[in-house]
């Protein structure tokens, strides 16, 4: 990767201000954008009014003018409160933390957390500077998560997330951040078909997906062939989930960044997920799947990120028997984490369980999207399909 010297100047990811910049709510921002998010982060930006149809350019001078667009940009670049409460227990104090073969014993809880967060931030900074690939993962080990899961015995404490659960959530979120400036699409408006619009940057997207997956040691240790078997369908599933998240049902379209600096957010209006009339009536509706996923995510990026991770490790027929168990364990682990997160969020075991069931069904439906895409690409013809997409969808030129 290229190293751009200019990137070393710290700049607010929201407004571009260079004064008083630091990591706030997970993102490099200035002090004013920090307090802005602190004050408005809970509000729903869809209920706010924008004079410019959500098209405002946010910079140091204009950041005051449109609250909606500023807030949407904050959320878009990944700013978020840690809403889940982290339970602090005496027995958590002497935990052993394994980070990349280096074992660190932390007596002081606060220092321990600070150390972890500092590592995450350093890593994030390095990634965003393009200095390293995401292989420098700091994923917690499976055994530790397992241990903490068994700690909670008291009913009152059950709904609280323990430190390791919080840490796992953080890890997922940090991993997903490789997609933050994913949408380098330029001047993409009024598109009519799938391929042109979603996959105009397939190679870049593929690279980032591999970076994301490599954050999980289990995936990283798989043989290349098995990785590919997962990556091909996962490519589409991840896209579908992310686009469902961005999708605005009221406007029937979604927002994305227009250029690299991410200063301009454009709105793409289309009928992307409308199943065409020509398809057979008994086929599952793609648009319904997307809409249901959208609904279940509750506009919550943490649910989205867990959904993506669960989708990564979900059982797949084309996976070699030898690796099914280890992948299955990750699937169980993250499904469990999602359940715990939902329990904590909704403060209800019942509600969380029902929601989880629906989500698992949806994740099992995701292959339909893959096959629908593939069918459409076949119609377009091999010659007209991007090389990477042809690879992803296993298209051949005969």
Partner DNA sequence: AGCGCACATGCTGTTCCT
Partner DNA sequence: AAGGAACAGCATGTGCGC
List contacts with its own copies (CB under 8 A).
49, 51-52, 55-57, 61-62, 65-66, 69
> Could you tell me the CA-to-CA distances from 157 to 95, 100, 152, 347, 375 in Å, in that order?
19, 31, 6, 11, 49
**By CB under 5 A, is residue 56 in contact with Zn ion?**
yes
Q: Which position among 7, 18, 38, 284 is part of the footprint of DNA (CB under 7 A)?
A: 38
CB of 37 to its own copies, least distance (A): 20
C-alpha–C-alpha distance, residues 165 and 144, integer Å: 10
C-alpha–C-alpha distance, residues 5 and 3, integer Å: 6
**By CB under 7 A, is residue 31 in contact with DNA?**
yes
For residue 23, the partner it binds in DNA, its own copies, Zn ion, none, with Cβ less than 5 to 8 A by kind, is DNA
**By CB under 7 A, is residue 19 in contact with DNA?**
yes
**By CB under 5 A, is residue 256 in contact with Zn ion?**
no
Calculate helix-pair angle for 224-246, 301-312, nearest 10 degrees.
Answer: 150
C-alpha–C-alpha distance, residues 177 and 301, integer Å: 11
Residue placing its CB nearer to its own copies in the complex, 12 or 392 = 12
For residue 358, the partner it binds in its own copies, Zn ion, DNA, none, with Cβ less than 5 to 8 A by kind, is none
C-alpha–C-alpha distance, residues 338 and 346, integer Å: 12
Q: Which of residues 88-127 bind DNA (CB under 7 A)?
A: 117, 121
Q: Which position among 13, 16, 36, 245 is part of the footprint of DNA (CB under 7 A)?
A: 36
CB of 82 to DNA, least distance (A): 7
**By CB under 7 A, is residue 322 in contact with DNA?**
no
Looking up tokens 């249901």, which residue turns up? 292
Phi, psi of 319 (to 5 degrees): -90, 140
**By CB under 5 A, is residue 69 in contact with Zn ion?**
yes
**By CB under 7 A, is residue 51 in contact with DNA?**
no
**By CB under 7 A, is residue 254 in contact with DNA?**
no
C-alpha–C-alpha distance, residues 390 and 243, integer Å: 21
For residue 390, the partner it binds in Zn ion, its own copies, DNA, none, with Cβ less than 5 to 8 A by kind, is none
For residue 49, the partner it binds in Zn ion, its own copies, DNA, none, with Cβ less than 5 to 8 A by kind, is its own copies
What spatial distance separates the first Cα and last Cα of the chain, rounded to whole Å?
35
C-alpha–C-alpha distance, residues 285 and 203, integer Å: 28
């Amino acid at each position: 990767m290229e190293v751009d010297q200019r990137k070393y100047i710290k700049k607010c990811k929201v407004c571009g201000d260079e004064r008083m910049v630091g990591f706030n709510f997970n993102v490099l921002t200035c002090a004013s954008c920090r307090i802005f998010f602190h004050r408005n982060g809970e509000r729903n930006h869809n209920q706010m009014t924008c004079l410019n149809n959500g098209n405002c350019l946010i910079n140091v001078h204009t950041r005051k003018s449109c609250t909606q667009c500023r807030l949407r940009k904050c959320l878009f670049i990944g700013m978020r409160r840690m809403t889940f409460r982290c339970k602090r227990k005496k027995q958590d104090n002497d935990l052993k933390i394994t980070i990349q073969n280096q074992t660190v014993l932390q007596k002081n809880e606060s220092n321990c957390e600070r150390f972890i967060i500092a590592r995450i931030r350093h890593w994030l900074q390095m990634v965003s500077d393009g200095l390293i690939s995401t292989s420098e993962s700091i994923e917690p080990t499976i055994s530790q998560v397992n241990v903490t899961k068994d700690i909670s015995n008291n009913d009152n404490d059950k709904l609280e997330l323990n430190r390791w659960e919080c840490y796992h959530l953080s890890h997922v979120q940090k991993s997903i951040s490789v997609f933050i400036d994913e949408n380098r699409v330029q001047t993409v408006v009024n598109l009519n078909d799938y391929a042109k619009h979603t996959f105009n940057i397939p190679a870049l997207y593929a690279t980032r997906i591999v970076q994301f997956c490599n954050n999980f040691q289990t995936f990283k240790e798989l043989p290349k062939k098995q990785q590919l078997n997962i990556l091909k369908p996962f490519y589409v599933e991840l896209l579908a989930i992310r686009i469902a998240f961005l999708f605005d049902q009221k406007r029937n379209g979604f927002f994305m960044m227009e250029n690299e600096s991410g200063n301009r957010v454009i709105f793409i209006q289309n009928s992307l997920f409308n199943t065409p009339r020509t398809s057979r009536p008994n086929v599952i509706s793609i648009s319904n799947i997307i809409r249901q996923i959208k609904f279940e995510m509750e506009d919550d990026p943490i649910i989205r990120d867990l959904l993506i991770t669960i989708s990564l490790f979900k059982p797949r027929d084309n996976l070699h028997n030898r690796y099914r168990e280890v992948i299955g364990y990750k699937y169980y682990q993250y499904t469990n984490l999602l359940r715990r997160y939902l329990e904590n969020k909704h403060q209800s075991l019942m509600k969380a369980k029902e929601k989880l069931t629906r989500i698992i069904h949806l994740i099992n439906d995701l292959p339909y999207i893959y096959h629908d895409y593939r069918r459409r690409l076949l119609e377009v013809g091999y010659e007209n399909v991007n090389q990477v997409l042809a690879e992803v969808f296993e298209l051949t030129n005969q």
